[in-house]
Amino acid sequence: ERRPPQKIIEKLSMFCGVSPDAVTLLPNADTVYEVPLILERDGIANFVLSRLGLKPRKANNLVWASLLRRIKKDYQQTVKVGIVAKYLDNDDTYISVVEALKSACWDKGVKLDITWVQSENLKDQITAKKYLRTFDGIVVPGGFGVRGVEGKICAAEYAIRNKVPYLGLCLGLQVAVIAKARMLGLKQANSTEFDKKTKIPVISTLDGQANILETGGTMRLGSYPCVLREGSMARKLYNAPIIHERHRHRYEVNNAYTDQLESGGLNMVGILQDNSLVEMVEHVNHPFFIASQFHPEFQSRPFKPHPLFVGFISALKNKKK
């Protein structure tokens, strides 16, 4: 892991026209977050600054070094998270969600044990129990299309019935709403994304979108302000009355059913500012059941994990004490 001998560096640069100062060794690292420290140790930052005509300054590596110590620490407690998803043939599909979970675990001082659960395997509450009973918490991330969605609905219902901490992201909110509606007796509740003819469209498109669904412009993209209900868990986690989060979805909670959902225990705790669109839901009398229409994982950082992920991991950590 040391810098190569100067003679080797000079020979390498001789055949490629690269300055010897620009050649460095990139050994295998235990974590990608170790790479900046390796590059800094070899002086690459000062070389880049000099080429740009900028004045070098003394680097502060304390933050990175502190993060690396937390990453490599052998924590005594492990939290087991089941991610119920359907795009499981590519490790990068949910990379933002995984990194957000990791950052929250480093912040709370616990190990993370992730198990991927193919949502198509969940058919009912019997199979849900079979696949989910060993987890401290359940995450249902985003996605599109009808394949595997019934399994995600089963996962949300299982979390509600068994008071298992649940974090729903985008589609994870929509399946939670569908699950709760069905539990309240609306057995045919569904999203018009999955059943265009559903008689109880608790999730649907907005007025004016019906004839232009094939165009990307119908999606709600980018950052939007969300007003958090006073006294809600979400408000406590964010410690702010208004937040801004990033979106990437088309279908919304149908406000015709929000009163019925709230009376049944699923509160609409986050509302789009200057509008009535539902952004966040929470279940009452539950250790942690929060779902967002937006993607909080997009704003999570290794040095500043997202409040929703920190809250979720805290619930798992406290559950095991």
Catalytic residues: 170, 295, 297
Contact predicate 149/137, CB 8 Å? no
Tokens 């509740």, residue located: 189
Helix (H) or strand (E) holding 279, with range, is: strand 278-283
Element (H, E) at 270: strand 266-272
CA 11/CA 30 separation, integer angstroms = 29
**One-letter amino acid identity for 205?**
T
Altogether, the residues listed in the chain come to a count of 321
Cα–Cα distance, 39 to 27 (Å, whole number): 10
d(CA 116, CA 101): 14
How far, in Å, CA of 245 to CA of 87, rounded? Answer: 24
Q: Decide: helix, strand or coil at residue 214.
A: coil
- Of 45, 77, 73, 71, nearest to 58 (Cα)? 45
